[in-house]
Amino acid sequence: MSDPLTELREACHRLLQEAATKAYPGIKLPPTKLSPPPNIEMGELSSTVSYQLARRVSSSPLEIADRITAEIDTDSSDLIESVEAVKGYINFKADNAGFSRLVLETTIREDTEYGFLKTPEPERVMVEHTSANPNGPIHIGNARNSILGASLAEMLKHRGHDVVVHFLVNDMGRQVAMATYGWKLLGKPEPEGRAELWVGTIYASVNVITQLTRLRKQLKKAEAKGRVNEIAELKDEIEEYEIAAKQLRERHKSVYDTLTEKLSHIEDPESGIAALNTAYENNDPETVETVRQLVGYCLEGFEASLGEIGIAFDSFDYESDLVWRKAAEEVLEDLKKTPYVFEDDGALILDCDRVAVDIDLKKRWGLNPDHMIPRLVLVRSDGTTLYTLRDMAYSIWKFGLVDGVINVIGYEQTLAQLQLRLALAALGKTWMGDKQTHYAYEFVKLPGIKMSGRLGRYVTILEVIDRATELAYQEVDERSPHLSDQEKEEIAKIVGYGAVKYTMLSIDPMKTVVFDWKRALDFETNSAPYIQYSHARACNILKKAEATPEADFASLTDIRERRLIMTLAGLPKTFEDAATELKPGNITAYANDLADKFNSFYAALPVLKAETPGLLGARLKLVDAARIVLRNALSVLGIVPPERM
């Protein structure tokens, strides 16, 4: 793929080297960056090489800049119009005809591929994301994981990597066992409504009912003994669960009431849940069939919910499969053969810091050399293992398929992810630790709402996108009343989905997202609707054009045109950096800046009523190139660019 901005930089570097050799024979330029000056009126690119050479040639930067500039021959380049020395800086102004032609014709020719520079070293990469517990719906918090993961996968695919997207199904443990236990009490009925929300209601109902029973028993004992403080605390906790019970009953009356009646006849439901969990861990055929069926309902719901916003998976990997083939036990046995595992009061411990020091991983992985990495408990004193062992086994399995792994997991798992990499290194698989990336992110907050899966309180991703679509419809209806209801609904869905995705991607993953509806659906600045509207505007201009005369690229002299062309030229480098550094936020910022530049151009300069045919042809190509780049930037973010709004 082409990179017009790099071509411009290379032309500047060549002229600088040639001129410096003439001005200072025998001199070789140091590595120097070319950056945009403060104002494009000063040129497209500027060099600080004069400051870098000052000591070597014993002269002032101002004198060096003047001397080198005097030797530059711009006639030898079709991309450079002029060079000027300003306060020691050397500023290059691009040739309007040559650079505009290069940028616009390259963009239009490469079309859907423009900007997506390919890596010289393609790899097989696995992106594991979402991996929500299959005992409730995908909520707004899970959705940030999903949207980030899908965007990373899309960027890496466009970069030329062979990407697979996986979902680890956490089907082991008490939460899934509790949901399954409740479903069996109900007689294993088919789901009602959204399957994952229905499963979540069963899980939360069992939890709330059993907790209320326990708390009320404790309250009676506390009252009998006159423990005032304990009574007050228990009453507060009971009140919270009673509110949750009311909400669950309003959501699914038959589910809650039936479970209440069934559980009232069971003396110790906890032992039943534990027994079911143990049976599943032991691969009991009947239990496996039951649990997998309920988990399957939840996964179908996940696929449907995320499929609504264009997110899909190549594989669902079950944690239980690792347990049943005893993969974690194999890892444990291998770890016990290393010098890094020891016994402490009946527990087996991995000395993570010693692993890091012995293999010199702190410097290699950018860790604080003075920070002591906490030890990792592999097996508790009671003989039970931790999930980290299963994660190790899963990581080793993943590296049998790919060269690199990106785990999109919350920030709170930072230590666990580091310990996992260190365990791989302890096993002699340091390269796996090198090639495994923890893509951490913070939570999402909706003002005034506190989510809790155990109480059945969450704002599902479907609720969020439905609300976004509803608000988008109001905007579309106001701006385009001439469209049919069906057209408005289609556009509102595209805009609403885009607004949710952009909000999640535009904020640094290590910052908490406080979801603001007004900001997310702002048609005027820094939002998906704003960028989508800019794309639709470009499409509309091109539709209205009766013909496209031959372009006079030299006529694109206005500062707004030059700014826009320079921004269009910047997509390849922006994309390359974003894909390499795994920063989709770079793309959102770029797309917003491009929309700003395009709208500034559109507001000030006529396109269809341009003064000359040559200028009309050039501006139409500029609009077409802007349309292509806006579309490409949005598409790599998983956001649909509408042709009308």
User: pLDDT digit string (tens) for 293-347?
Assistant: 999 999 999 999 999 999 999 999 999 999 999 999 999 999 999 999 999 999 9
Q: For residue 183, with 0-12 CB atoms within 10 Å meaning exposed, 13-18 middle and 19 or more buried, which class applies?
A: buried
* Tokens read off for 104: 């616009």
What are the backbone dihedrals phi and psi of residue 484, each rounded to the nearest 5 degrees, phi first? -75, 165
**Partners of residue 230 on adjacent β-strands:** none
Q: With beta carbons less than 8 A apart as the criterion, state whether 36 and 601 touch.
A: no
Q: With beta carbons less than 8 A apart as the criterion, state whether 15 and 81 touch.
A: no
Q: With beta carbons less than 8 A apart as the criterion, state whether 295 and 175 touch.
A: no
Q: With beta carbons less than 8 A apart as the criterion, state whether 458 and 302 touch.
A: no
Q: What fold, for 461-636? A: Isoleucyl-tRNA Synthetase; Domain 1 (1.10.730)
Buried b (16+ CB within 10 A) or exposed e, 209-231: bbbbbebeebbeebeeeeeeeeb
Q: With beta carbons less than 8 A apart as the criterion, state whether 68 and 25 touch.
A: no
pLDDT at residue 506 in the model: 94
Q: Which residues of the chain have pLDDT under 50?
A: none
- CA distance linking residue 139 with residue 132, whole number of Å: 9
Residues of the chain with CATH 3.40.50.620: 124-171+320-444
Task: Name the nearest CA neighbour of 168 among 423, 432, 398.
Answer: 398
Sign of the torsion angle spanned by Cα atoms 253, 257, 260, 262: negative
Tell me which DSSP letter residue 189 carries: P
* Tokens read off for 17: 């080297």
- CA distance linking residue 284 with residue 296, whole number of Å: 18
Type of residue at 204: A
* Tokens read off for 321: 């499969």
Domain 4-94: CATH superfamily is Arginyl tRNA synthetase N-terminal domain (3.30.1360.70)
Residues of the chain with CATH 3.30.1360.70: 4-94
- CA distance linking residue 47 with residue 37, whole number of Å: 9
- CA distance linking residue 612 with residue 263, whole number of Å: 82
- CA distance linking residue 192 with residue 199, whole number of Å: 9
* Tokens read off for 439: 């893509």
Which CATH code, of 1.10.443.10, 3.40.50.620, 3.60.150.10, 3.40.50.1820, is assigned to 124-171+320-444?
A: 3.40.50.620
- CA distance linking residue 532 with residue 542, whole number of Å: 16
Please give the sequence-ordered ranges of beta strands (E in DSSP) within 513-620, or none if there are none.
Answer: 513-514
- CA distance linking residue 7 with residue 102, whole number of Å: 9
pLDDT at residue 457 in the model: 79
**Partners of residue 124 on adjacent β-strands:** 162
